[in-house]
Structure 1
Amino acid sequence: MFSKRSIRTSFLIQLIFSSVTLIIIFSSLLYFYIEKSIYDDKKAELIQYAKNISAYKSVFQADESIPENFFSLNVGIIYLKNPDTQMDVYEKTDHKHTYLTLVYPFNLDDKSYLKITKDITQTKRLLKKILRYIFIINIAGVLLVIIYAIALSKMLVAPIQTLTKKLANMNEHLIKEIDTQRLPAEFEPLGETLNHLISRIQNFVKYQKELFIGTAHELKTPLAVIKLKNQVTLIKKRTPEEYIEAIKTTNKTVDEMNIIVSNILNIGRQEGAQLDKPVEVDVIAFLKQKANDFKLLAENEGKVLQMHFEPDGFMATLQLSLLNQIIQNFLQNALKFTPKEKSVTLRSSQDDVGLLIEVIDEGCGIDDTIDLFAPFKRQGNKSGVGLGLFLAKSAADALGARISIKNREDGIDGTIASLQLNSKLSCIIPRNR
């Protein structure tokens, strides 16, 4: 029922221990209060008798009937040679009877004192009975606390058990998100985190299948071209120039295959980079460095790279290689599809979520109906394997960031590629004054 390191076991032990301690303390205080109250009443009663006798009055009022407890009194006068107290009360037990004795000054001139003794055996029996009842009530209370603690702990771990059963029944072919509306409010963040993880798993499985299928298709086509070209070449005897041309075509096709294989290897390297230890990075300083690197490349191609960064600094804890892969892919695509004498803009800004990084180009735009983050999806008439955005999306998911590409809405052809970094693992560097 409970494991060695069970949270439920720890909760039960702590709840039972604290409840039992509270019951014992409360019961002890209650018993001592009752005992003190009864003894105070008995002492006050004996003092009242002593005062009446000292004042030469009747022990009880004349208009009252003789109380029954009056017959349990024993009144006498004693003389003390060296009295050291004005009044004294003490208790004594003799032959299974308990007596409460009061020594009260009667005549200080001859050092005489009243000694009033009262049999309080019945009172002691009553206190013992009360103590016994409190002990029985405590046992019943402890049992109820144990039952309540077991029921409460079972109720508290029920949502965890429900989540565990749902996750245990899932596999890569049957993955469903958890309905967080049916979870207690305290478990909603856990449910949302699991749903985010499930969504990542779904995308991973989907893209991995597309990657395998796309890889087979992409490699199958050039292999078929090589085979067909060789078959045509071998049909009849040809000149050396024709053989050289056939070999060049084959080599070109092999180079294209090598590019595909290299990109697939990059996917494996990226998955390894996701396990790298995150480091603290000033994202703004990193963006400035990348902008300077690509600025020369843009000028060499007859294009302009503009930059605008806000705030002055933004610290984040992340894998720098993954961030580099995303920004590099954005800038490479933007420069690839932007015509000469046009501009590409790299900018950053702070928003309610964290840091928003955008790369804006003046290219041909995109087809909104195509999932550009799927493997081997190409856009435009430029050469490429179609794995760059797939790698960028995987890197963003590993960073816990959001990535998107959309067409510009300012009347100019082109796209906006954006990366949204969450501020939970980051902070803003204050501006120097």
Structure 2
Amino acid sequence: MLPEKSLRTRFILQLASASMVLIAIVSVMLYYYIRVTILESVVLELTYEAKAIISQPHVFNPHFKTEFSIQLPNASVTDVKILPRATHDIKSRFVYEDKDNRTYIHLHYITATEENYLRLSKDTTLQSNIIRQILIDIIIVNAVSIALVLFYALFLSRMLLVPIKILTKKLGKIDESFLKEIDTNSLPIEFKPLVRGINGLINRIQTFVSYQKELFVGVAHELKTPLAVMKAKNEVTLLKQRESERYIEALKTNNDSINQMNAIIGSVLEIGRQEGAQFEEPVPTDIISFIQKLGNNFAILARVENKDVSLELKPKNLNMNLQQSLLTHVLQNFIQNAIKFSPQNSTIIVKTRIENRNFIIEVIDSGIGIDESKDLFAPFKRYGDKGGTGLGLFLAKGAAQALGGKISIKNRTDSNGAIATLVMPIKKLGKKNGKTNSSN
């Protein structure tokens, strides 16, 4: 079993580790800068003294002392030795030495004649003690800083988790019977995009719940009516002995009611299949080619009723990620309605185009048009005299929403008929199997 992950623990560890690394790097840089700065003053003193000694000619007089000490104002004592240069391996350089718990810096300085060299020595024990004490102080400061960083990380993580706790508390109170959008005023700006997404999901849930309630009520009502008709017809028929023709008529009426109920049940099953299709994995699809195949299939059905289907598809190809079964359901409803309500010898036009980064599909018929003042997408609402369960457009709207689009129906302005429209945003495809989104 995998251990539970804690956002606060991860934040504290990451902040503390990053701060400790930064503190360590800065401390090392600071220590070496101070060390070089302190010792640099000693190096400059020795160099200055060496040049001053070389500039005096009498220093290399045979009668002059080969060992002496000098002291400049505000400077420590420097021991000087004039030594013969026995080998050319000796070059001008600085040498650090620890001796008898004291530290020294020696400067070997070659004279102009290169026969002798000066060896200047300065006691740097005081400077070394200062550097050592600075190192100890830096270590102490680092320890205190790390402790403060840990305390600050605990405090900051607690403060940052407050909005998450508030959001979690509000989400925990949400249920089907009390769906309410989350107020963004009490949350930081960084959390508002997340809350807007959650509020959008809540709105979709509210819409879904209201549709489900309306659907259940509609199904109960639609099934209750034919059952009541069947029962009344049977009771009337059984009141007294009748001719066989009366019994046959009653049975035919009951069969019609049963067929009506079967159609309603089939539509309800279609709703279940559609809801399952919403969770299908979208697949890369050449939507133009896909619509071409669907249009050709429906053209065969239209010719049976002496009607035709014409395709005007643009662009030539367009790759999109989508659930094919949902798109099929929307187009099937649009084209079947267009065929149903169009007169004989008419043509149903299926047009596609790209506009404002949206892919638009239009199905245009030459029928009697629609009543735009009515809600055509409500369940069990039937319009016209062609029959049906009244769930087709209701299901088409749900499928369009699952595709991330929206549908609408309006009357034509150029002649009789209606235009059913599906608008879907174009989403770019990532590279997969060497193919990318393309359109011509």
The separation in 2 between residues aligned to 1:28 and 1:58, in whole angstroms, is 47
The separation in 1 between residues aligned to 2:326 and 2:13, in whole angstroms, is 46
What is the RMSD of the two structures over their aligned residues, measured on CA atoms? 2.9
The separation in 2 between residues aligned to 1:277 and 1:187, in whole angstroms, is 29
Query: Which residue in 2 is equivalent to 1:42?
Result: 42
Query: Which residue in 2 is equivalent to 1:75?
Result: 80
Whether 1:329 aligns to 2:333 is yes
C-alpha contact (below 8 Å) 1:312/1:429 kept by paired residues: no
Of 177-186 and 316-325, deviating more is: 177-186
The separation in 2 between residues aligned to 1:68 and 1:300, in whole angstroms, is 115
The separation in 2 between residues aligned to 1:429 and 1:89, in whole angstroms, is 71
Q: Measure how far apart 1:326 and its partner are.
A: 0.8
Whether 1:391 aligns to 2:388 is no
Query: Which residue in 2 is equivalent to 1:31?
Result: 31
C-alpha contact (below 8 Å) 1:79/1:112 kept by paired residues: yes
Deviations 1:47-92 (A, max 9, x none): 2222222333899xxxxx962534x333334445335223342222
Whether 1:96 aligns to 2:134 is no
C-alpha contact (below 8 Å) 1:80/1:113 kept by paired residues: yes
Q: 1:407 to 1:199 in 2, by over 3 A?
A: farther
Q: 1:196 to 1:279 in 2, by over 3 A?
A: same
Q: Measure how far apart 1:225 and its partner are.
A: 0.6
Q: Measure how far apart 1:151 and its partner are.
A: 4.8
Whether 1:418 aligns to 2:421 is yes
The separation in 2 between residues aligned to 1:107 and 1:293, in whole angstroms, is 105
Deviations 1:154-211 (A, max 9, x none): 5555554443333221111222234567765554543343233222211110111111
Query: Which residue in 2 is equivalent to 1:363?
Result: 367
Q: How does 1:26-425 map to 2 (within 5 A)?
A: 26-56=26-56, 67-70=73-76, 72-79=77-84, 81-82=86-87, 84-105=89-110, 111-154=115-158, 157-179=161-183, 186-408=190-412, 410=413, 412-424=415-427
The separation in 2 between residues aligned to 1:331 and 1:184, in whole angstroms, is 49
Deviations 1:134-158 (A, max 9, x none): 2233233333433444455455555
Q: 1:376 to 1:199 in 2, by over 3 A?
A: same
The separation in 1 between residues aligned to 2:192 and 2:133, in whole angstroms, is 52
The separation in 2 between residues aligned to 1:379 and 1:149, in whole angstroms, is 65
Matched residue SS, 2:427: helix
The separation in 2 between residues aligned to 1:155 and 1:353, in whole angstroms, is 42
Deviations 1:399-429 (A, max 9, x none): 2222222333x15343322111221155754
C-alpha contact (below 8 Å) 2:321/2:427 kept by paired residues: no
The separation in 1 between residues aligned to 2:260 and 2:245, in whole angstroms, is 23
Task: Output the amino acid matched with 1:75.
Answer: V
The separation in 1 between residues aligned to 2:252 and 2:371, in whole angstroms, is 35
Matched residue SS, 1:145: helix
Query: Which residue in 1 is equivalent to 2:64?
Result: none
Q: Measure how far apart 1:312 and its partner are.
A: 0.9
- Give the structure-2-normalised TM-score: 0.86
Identity %: 45
Matched residue SS, 1:175: coil
Q: 1:82 to 1:343 in 2, by over 3 A?
A: closer
Q: Measure how far apart 1:245 and its partner are.
A: 1.1
Deviations 1:343-392 (A, max 9, x none): 43211111123211111223333334433323212222320111111221
Deviations 1:16-46 (A, max 9, x none): 3233222211221121122112222201201
C-alpha contact (below 8 Å) 2:319/2:439 kept by paired residues: no
Task: Output the amino acid matched with 2:420.
Answer: A
The separation in 2 between residues aligned to 1:234 and 1:46, in whole angstroms, is 132
How many pairs does the alignment contain? 421
Q: 1:345 to 1:185 in 2, by over 3 A?
A: farther
C-alpha contact (below 8 Å) 2:288/2:313 kept by paired residues: yes
Query: Which residue in 2 is equivalent to 1:62?
Result: none
* 5+ long unaligned stretches in structure 1: 60-64
Matched residue SS, 1:51: helix
- Give the structure-1-normalised TM-score: 0.87
The separation in 2 between residues aligned to 1:237 and 1:8, in whole angstroms, is 84
C-alpha contact (below 8 Å) 1:211/1:375 kept by paired residues: yes
The separation in 2 between residues aligned to 1:353 and 1:159, in whole angstroms, is 36
The separation in 2 between residues aligned to 1:317 and 1:213, in whole angstroms, is 35
Matched residue SS, 2:320: strand
Of 321-330 and 298-307, deviating more is: 298-307
The separation in 2 between residues aligned to 1:58 and 1:235, in whole angstroms, is 153
Q: Measure how far apart 1:108 and its partner are.
A: 5.0
Of 122-131 and 364-373, deviating more is: 364-373
